[in-house]
Structure 1
Amino acid sequence: MRLVRHPVLCNYYVTYRCNARCSFCDIWEKPSPYIQLEDVAQNLRDLQRLGVNVVDFTGGEPLLHRQIHEFVGLAHDMGFITTLTTNCLLYPKYAERLRAKVDMLHFSLDSSEKEVHDKGRGVACFDFVLESIRVAKELGERPDILFTVFRENLSQLEAVYRDITQPNGLVLIINPAFEYNSVATGEQLITAELDYLSAFGLRKGVYLNEAFIQLRKDGGNHVAKPVCRAASTTLVISPSNELVLPCYHLGEKKFPINGQLYELHRSAEVQQLAALEGRLPACEGCTINCYMQPSFAVETSKYFWQALPSTLRYNLAKGTWKRMLTR
């Protein structure tokens, strides 16, 4: 049963440019402009009209945009729940300007060992993560550590929890890696490893959406009976101010927004393409977390009930649960 008919999330790409070269991502290879403040302001007003709750300012590396603090500040002041993930290379520089504007601030860290983390990210950013934790805590911020899990770094999870997140009072977010297009992430996690993650997710100070685990055990999205509700739950806005459908990773079609996001999203052409969510050939086997998370939240299914406990705990810890209910 569908519980929510309107979109709940906007993945707002401020730029595709990145100062890292992660082995499991190809976005940094793309040429890209930077979003403009006037477009952001108009789009946020339209996102309000559409019923969106959460705006994730993403990239690329979002802190490469010199106005990022203005974007998140505007969205936060308008009542959106704001999220931002960074590799931390620029966070110490921008920390003061971002202060109290990002509800869910995520620092990417995939190992407790500097050499391992830096190799996966393609740049030396491990020390910047540790420095960013120190700076954020001094400012009264509560960042989370986002750990992207592959078979090759699964053994590092315990040390990151023991040595970094727990001593600093931070939430450890377990983010199972996913494949898309031609980007490979190595061998997929086997059932025993997925079970290990499920058990780890029950620990204090750890957030894991258990529905991510079940979806992988089920072989991902299936076009004959799709789980994915990417296009109806999530708006993707490109750095060129386009609405991208059905999701960023497929990007079947891009519609220029031209100050008319509300009307564009409700247009027949967009809605016809949105109706194909989860049913396109490339959707078979998909496990992309950033679209499955909102998909699980809008209709009752076994994934809804598996996702609910951790989602409630996390929003309670972050203090965002009241706004989730009132928007």
Structure 2
Amino acid sequence: MRLVSHPVLCNYYVTYRCNASCSFCDIWERPSPYVTLESARQNFRDLKKLGVRVIDFTGGEPLLHRQLPELLQEAKQLGFITTVTTNALLYPKQAERLRGLVDMLHFSLDSPVAEEHDRSRGVTCFDKVMESIAIARQLGERPDILFTVFERNAHQIRQMHEEICLPNDLVLILNPVFEYNTVETGERFTDTTLRQLSGWGKQKNVYLNEGFIQLRRDGGNKVDDPVCRAASTTIVISPENKIVLPCYHLGLKDFPIDNNLFNLYRSEEVQKLVALEGRLPGCESCAINCYMQPSFAVEVNKYFWQALPSTLKYNWVKGTWKQLF
């Protein structure tokens, strides 16, 4: 049973540029402009009309966009919930300007061991994350630690939780790595590791969407009976000011917005692609978290019920549940 028929999330790629070169990501390899404040203003108004509630300002590294605070301010004035994930290299310099503008601020950290984290990111940034945590807390911000979990680093969850998150009263978000294109992500998760992740999801100050675990046990999305609702729940906007369909990672087609996002999204050509969500050949076995999260939230099925407790827990801890009603 479908609960929500309109898009609820916008993944707004403010740039594909990045000041890191993570081994499990290929976005930083792409040339890219930056979104303009003028086009974003119009898009925000249209996103509001389409029913979107959350805008994820993403990249690349979103803090590379010099007008990110202005973009966030515009979004907040229209009542959107805002999210930003950063490698924290630029956060210490921009923290004051970002203060109060990000509802869900995530600092990426893939190991509690500095050398290992820096190696995975291709740049020295562990110390910047630690500095950013201190600055954010001084400013009254409540950042989260986004831990991209691989089979090879799952054993470090306890150390991350006990040494970094609990002492700083931070939520630890466990983000199981996903495969896409030709990006190398290492060994697949064993059943033992999946069970361990489920156990951690029940701990204090830890967020793990249990639906992610079940989907991996089930072998990902199935094109003959898809769980993915990426195109109908999530609007992807590129730095070139185009809608990307059916999602960023598959990216079969893009459409110039030309100050007409509302009508473009509802057009017959776009809706034909939306109707194919989860059913295209490239959708087989997909388990991309950023599209499954909203997919699980809009349709009542086993993934909905498995995702619900962690979603309620996180929004209660962060206080964002008040903005959802």
What whole-Å deviation, never above 9, does each CA across 1:220-278 have from its counterpart, x for those lacking one?
00001000000000000000000000000010000000000000000000000010000
Cα deviation for residue 285 of structure 1 reads 0.3
Match of 1:316 in 2: 316
1:157 CA drift (Å): 1.0
**Equivalent residues in 2 for 1:161-176, closer than 5 Å:** 161-176=161-176
| 2:103 paired residue number | 103
The letter for the 2-side match of 1:35 is: V
Question: Which residue pairs with 1:148 in the alignment?
Answer: 148
For 2:124, the aligned partner's letter is A
How many Å separate the matches in 1 of 2:188 and 2:30? 26
Question: What is the CA distance between 1:323 and its match in structure 2?
Answer: 1.5
Question: Aligned equivalents of 1:308 and 1:48: distance in 2?
Answer: 25
Residue in 1 that maps onto 2:116: 116
Please give the per-residue CA displacement for 1:48-85, whole angstroms capped at 9, x wherever unaligned.
00000000000000000000011111111211000000
Name the residue aligned to 2:258. Answer: 258
| 1:159-191 C-alpha deviation (Å, 9 max, x unpaired) | 110000000000000000001011120111011
Separation in 2, partners of 1:79, 1:317? 20
SS at match of 2:130: helix
For residues 295 and 46 of structure 2, the distance between their equivalents in structure 1, rounded to whole angstroms, comes to: 21
Deviation at 1:92, TM superposition (A): 0.4
How far is 1:290 from its partner? Answer: 0.2
Shift of 1:317: 1.1
What SS does structure 2 have at the residue aligned with 1:151?
Answer: coil
Q: Deviations over 1:207-227 (max 9, x none)?
A: 000000000000000001000
Structure 1: which amino acid aligns with 2:83? T
With the length of structure 2 as denominator, give the TM-score of the two structures.
0.99
Residue identity opposite 2:90 in structure 1: L
Deviation of the 1:318 alpha carbon = 1.1
Pick which of 310-319 and 43-52 moved more.
310-319
TM-score, length of structure 1 as denominator length: 0.99
The whole-number CA distance in structure 1 between the counterparts of 2:281 and 2:22 is 27
Structure 1 residue 122: deviation in Å?
0.3
Tell me by how many angstroms 1:316 deviates. 1.1
Matching of residue 76 in structure 1 with residue 76 in structure 2: yes
Q: Hey, what does 2:214 align to over in structure 1?
A: 214
AA aligned to 1:83 is T
What's 2:23 paired with?
Answer: 23
- Report how many aligned residue pairs link the two structures: 325
* C-alpha separation in 1, matches of 2:93 and 2:73: 17
Give identity over the alignment, percent: 69
Separation (CA, whole Å) in 2 of partners of 1:107 and 1:73: 20
| AA aligned opposite 1:51 | G
Tell me the residue number matched to 2:274: 274
Where do 4+ consecutive residues of structure 1 move more than 3 Å? none
- What stretches of structure 2 of length at least 5 have no aligned partner? none
Q: Distance in 2 between matches of 1:36 and 1:157?
A: 39
> Aligned partner of 1:171: which letter?
V
> How far is 1:4 from its partner?
0.1
- 1:118-155 Cα offsets, whole Å, 9 max, x none, are 00000000000000000000000000000000011111
The residue matched to 1:7 in structure 2 has which SS? Answer: coil
| Aligned residue number for residue 224 of structure 1 | 224
Partner residue in 1 for 2:89: 89
Separation (CA, whole Å) in 2 of partners of 1:163 and 1:317: 20
Indicate whether 1:125 and 2:125 are aligned.
yes
1:55 matched residue in structure 2: 55
Q: CA deviation at 1:305?
A: 0.4
Aligned to 1:152, the other structure's residue is in SS state: coil
Larger deviation, residues 149-158 vs 84-93 = 149-158
Q: What is the CA-CA distance between 1:106 and the residue it aligns to?
A: 0.1
Instruction: Report the residue type matching 1:84 in the other structure.
Output: V
Q: Within 2, Cα distance between the matches of 1:79 and 1:61?
A: 24
Task: Give the drift of 1:319.
Answer: 1.1
Compute the displacement of 1:297 (Å). 0.3
Is 243-252 or 153-162 further displaced after alignment?
Answer: 153-162
Separation in 1 of the partners of 2:74 and 2:92? 21
1:257-312 Cα distance to aligned partner (Å, 9 max, x none): 00000000000000000100000001000000000000000010000000001101
Cα distance in 2 between the residues matched to 1:104 and 1:63: 15
Q: Within 2, Cα distance between the matches of 1:156 and 1:73?
A: 37
Q: Structure 1, residues 75-131: CA drift from partner, whole Å, max 9, x if none? A: 112110000000000000110000000000000001110000000000000000000
- For 1:157 and 1:19, how far apart are their aligned partners in 2? 26
Which segments of 5 or more consecutive residues in structure 1 lack a partner in the other structure?
none
